[in-house]
């Protein structure tokens, strides 16, 4: 006697197709997630690069202002406008011994 089971092989094939379809969907979803992450990262890099360039320009402008303020000619004209004059023979504070130095340093 022969027993015929017509749906047995179709059940295994159907389960295999469903399993492979689920794996394929997961892989496609993962690829979309990775692609979106890369696009977001590139966008953030471009934004950060723009901010760096803007900061470099502001830094260069501040340096130009500083150099113009510290220009010797500008400093001399500023000193003359405040009534200061250049001392050609300055005398600096000099200590003759270490004892005087510590006395000077320790004063409140």
8-22: pLDDT as tens digits? 566 788 889 999 999
Number of domains in the chain: 1
Region of 92 on the Ramachandran plot (φ > 0 left; ψ -120 to 50 alpha; else beta): beta
Q: Is residue 34 part of a domain?
A: no
Q: Is residue 69 part of a domain?
A: yes
Q: Is residue 16 part of a domain?
A: no
58-80: pLDDT as tens digits? 999 999 999 998 898 888 888 88
* Domain ranges, residue 67: 47-83
Q: Is residue 95 part of a domain?
A: no
Q: Is residue 102 part of a domain?
A: no
Position 89 confidence tier, pLDDT thresholds 50, 70, 90? confident
């Amino acid at each position: 006697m022969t027993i015929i089971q017509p749906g047995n092989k179709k059940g295994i094939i159907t389960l295999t197709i469903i399993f492979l379809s689920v794996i394929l969907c997961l892989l496609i979803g993962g690829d979309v997630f990775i692609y979106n992450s890369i696009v977001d990262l590139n966008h953030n890099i471009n934004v950060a690069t723009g901010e760096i360039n803007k900061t470099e320009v502001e830094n260069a402008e501040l340096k130009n202002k500083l150099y113009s303020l510290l220009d010797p000619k500008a400093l001399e004209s500023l000193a003359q406008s405040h009534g200061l004059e250049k001392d050609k023979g300055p005398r600096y504070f000099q200590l003759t011994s270490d004892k005087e130095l510590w006395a000077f340093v320790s004063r409140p």
